[in-house]
Amino acid sequence: MSTPRSSQEVNVFPDVTVAGVQMEPRVGRKAENVARSIQLIEQAAASGATVVVLPELCNSGYVFESRQEAFSLGESIPDGASTSAWEEASRRLGIYVVAGIAERVEDKLYNSAVLVGPNGYIGTYRKLHLWGDEHLFFESGNLGLPVFHTEIGRLAAIICYDGWFPEVYRLLAMQGADIVCMPTNWVPMPGQCGDHAAMANVLAMANAHSNGLNIVCANRVGTERTQPFIGQSLIVGAQGWPLAGPASVDQEEVLYARINLKASRRARHLNAFNDVLRDRRDDIYDPMLGTGWPLPRH
């Protein structure tokens, strides 16, 4: 006769419904952008989502004309207006929200992602790898790669170009991350449009498989000051296959996927012999990717 499991044991590995919100922010129109994001958050929550991911810089827009404009659109975290609005929605709806925001810290500006939940502000991630003209406006991130432990699992955030660096995903996997939330503003690159899959999607799938991670990529759409964005938001499971998407190239859309954390953590075990983290040759490189010899930086 089997012994009944307690409700606590049953819920150790809950199923989690995640949502990737693909939207079209308008540069400089913060109040409108945040209001639209709240509408989409509410839509996602009504459809059962527990984790909702918004695009990069979704409250401010992306293509700044000047450093002055970028700073004027920056806000403090967690007491700025945008974070406060997302926090209120998270508390009211009992969900987690990850959103891209220009974070102002005195005379510095960071391309950041903020995580809020049912009990309020949880943490901030600052983009490590800046893309293009972002170097004119933002400082490189200085908070490392935090993993936030929540009652539904271990959540992490990265932003857009960070996804081109396999070290990012490996370091998050080494810290036990379950779901990587990626606010992003993907732009056209060779091979990203037409009959080819977006390179960003291919990279997300490959890194999900190599590390046993679920990845929620929330991109934007539209053209901002002549810069087009490619949409194609995607949710990838821990075995590397899409769970939802890619979304359209030009329409606002919300993607949904249900993730079983128990199965996700087991996805790192490929068979009886192989585990993608255990099989690393840490006699050649240390577990946190140090090599033991100096590498040039240019």
Rounded Cα–Cα distance for residues 120 and 171 (Å):
26
Q: Residue 72: how many CB atoms within 10 A of its CB? A: 14
Residue 30: which of 67, 66, 69, 65 has the closest Cα? 69
Residue 37: which of 107, 69, 106, 84 has the closest Cα? 84
Catalytic residue selected from 58, 87, 127, 217:
127
Cβ within 8 Å of residue 48, ≥6 positions away: 17, 256
Rounded Cα–Cα distance for residues 89 and 72 (Å):
24
Catalytic residue selected from 24, 30, 56, 103:
56
Rounded Cα–Cα distance for residues 229 and 227 (Å):
7
Rounded Cα–Cα distance for residues 236 and 196 (Å):
18
**Pairing of the two strands 227-228 and 120-126:** unpaired
| Secondary structure in 3-state letters for 274-292 | CECCCCCCCCCCCCCCCCC
Separate counts of helices (H) and strands (E) for the chain: 8, 14
Beta bridge partners of 75: 103
**Does the active-site annotation cover 181?**
no
Tokens of residue 185, six digits: 């503003």
Catalytic residue selected from 58, 87, 103, 160:
160
**Does the active-site annotation cover 253?**
no
Rounded Cα–Cα distance for residues 269 and 175 (Å):
16
Rounded Cα–Cα distance for residues 202 and 208 (Å):
10
**Does the active-site annotation cover 30?**
no
Tokens of residue 158, six digits: 């990265």
Rounded Cα–Cα distance for residues 32 and 48 (Å):
25
What positions carry a catalytic annotation? 56, 127, 160
